[in-house]
Every structure is written in structure tokens, then in C-alpha cells.
A and B are shown apart, each in its own frame.
Chain A
């Protein structure tokens, strides 16, 4: 269950970013905010090179998936801003994109052959419903990661 603590840590840190992002976009445009978000990622990676010892002997699949992860995450954040700027109501857009874990669950079950207990399956559904309900307040606009 060690994985759970890391998942909760991610949940808490991403939750805090919901507030810091709002504090940012109250003062600057979403694109400038996103730009500095990306620069922070670069600085964090530079710190990782200095502090940690990255492992370089990697397979092609791993490298492609890791790089694709960054691209998909970044593009997702950018397209979420585009959705909000294209006339979509924040309450609808954010609730809709909160459904993304459904796709991950579907893909993981179909392609990685992951199996869920009925309790976990119910938990996944309840989690997604909860995320949608929590996102119905248009006051806090957030981007993943």
C-alpha cells in the first residue's frame, strides 16, 4: 500500500496547484501562466539532474512513453484552456474533462489487462462522480499537473 501514500501526496500537491493557479491567472493571462508553469518544470528537472542520479540505460518504449507523458499532459492542459476560451462554461468544461480517468481505467483494463475488484470498480466510479461534483464551482479553474 506504499503506492497509496504517493498517490495521496500527488492529490494534495495537485490540489494546492488549483489555488496557486487561480492566484496566478487572477493577475496574468492563462498562456503566460502556463509558460511559467513549464519553466518551473524545466527548473525542477535541472534540480533533479543535480540532486538525484537519473538512470540513463533505458529501453525505447520507456523513453517514448515518458516523453509522450509530458507531451500529453502539457497538451491536455493547453487544450483545457482552449476549451474554456472557446465559449464553454467553466462548470461544464471542467466537469466534462474530469471524466478523463474513465478513459485511463478503460485503457488500463483493455490494454494492460488490469483487473479491478468490484469495490475498486465502484470506487473508481464514485471518484469520478466526486471529481465532477467538486468541479462544479466555476470559481477555481485548474489544470492537471
Chain B
């Protein structure tokens, strides 16, 4: 089978996949998975001090990580409507490492527009009062400066969606999210009391509404159900600052450690497995990562994907 007909075959798979309700972006993910590396890890050798220096580091690392996968053009095409979903869950400042680094978000917004996106939306379903979270995390300002639409979510726009999951047959997901072409998940790496670490798949809870506080009774299965349905086009993991204890809310600067890393990948399980190692956990210790591996959502053995490692700075 030559390259051309292989592409046609994959496109057909994508359309069938979408029609089979494997999730709104399932087709895109299948397409992306075969046309480049599955994981890239960008690391800054030094640990710059000062807001401007860290901002520059964030921008550089994000760009390198995405370039390492083949560039944003591999994921975003002309005319796309892109949803960038950072962690804007908590009323904290970036230094407290409870929310995604705003410069990582802003860089992804710019890259998406450069790749031809028609609209770029940045939003999340916050746990603390959303107006406060969007402002104090710095994400609203950074996203809007980069030209994205950044707005808080409204209760009335959540729609009951069939997930056909093991723990979640259905759940209320944000309507606007379901209407976009591309979904970029941008978590920050943090300790979590219940599941040890909150990474990419946990970050997807920000698309869910209703009584999300019931997920914790079976976090392993609910998260993988969500991740199976939502299958992001791309996951960009912010590990510039990580929260090593008292997560996911944090509040003690002594719990924040610099890892000066941004990873990007198409395999949700693998990138979460890598993120867990940054906190000192073995990937096998994280329940939802192993469940994702068991359900063949991805592989927990991220080294087997031969990740591109990029050292800068």
C-alpha cells in the first residue's frame, strides 16, 4: 500500500470512527498518530529566575516540544476551530503551580493561529469561582493577548452526552467543546491525595459539568471513560513548575519544584506515565494510567515510543 492510498484508508477510518461515536476528535487522533513521533520532551538545562526569564523559558519549551512532534501543522489545519483546555481550576497564581503556566497556553494559541486555525478558544470548568481563577492564573490575560477567545463556562451549556463508558454511560459535557474540530489538553503536573498524581486524563474533568465530585468514587474508570471519549488531538504537559505535595490545590510555595520541562504527545497514557515520573512515582502506581493501558487507549511504557528529547537553554 503506497503512501497515498494509505492516507485515504486512514481518512476513511477516521470518518468511520467519528460516525461510530468514538468521540468527537477520535478521527483526528488516528490521523495524527501515524504521521510523526508520539512523544517529545523539551527540557531547559538551567532554571531561570525572574518572571520574564521564566516566561521566555515557557515559550521556548512549548515551541520546541511541539516542533519535536513535527510542528503544529500536523495537528491544526486551515479553518479549524481549536479548543485549548488548560488547568484553570483554582484561584491561585502561576507561582503556586496549581494552574497551567499562562505562557505555555499563549504559545499554543499563537502556534494554532499560525497553523491556520480560524478560531481558538481557551476555557475550563473551574472549581473555585471561575472569574477569580481565570484572572489570577494569568491565563485569561495571556490567552486574550494572544488573540484567543477566553470565557468562563455557563451552566446552561452543558449537554448530556453518551459516553458508553464502564463507569459513565453518559455525563454532562460542555456543549461548545463538542462542536470544535481540534482539542488540545494542557495539564500541569501535580500531586493528588486520592490518585497520587493529576495529569492529562484528570485534566479532562474540566470538560465535565454536573456533580463531578462523584467521579472520585471510581476515578480509575471515570477518567479513562472520559479520556476514551474525548481523545485529544494533542496533549501538551506543563512541567515547568510541578506541585509535589498538598495537591491539587497547593498553597505552600515549598511544595513547588522546578522541573523546567514541557512534554507534548499524542498518546494520553504514555504522556501521563511520563508525567508521573516527574513527581517520583512509577507509572504503574497510577491507577488510571494502568487502566488506560489495559483498555489499549495507549501504552504505559512511554520509553518504547522512543520520545524525542530536546535539551535547550
Q: Do A and B bind each other?
A: no
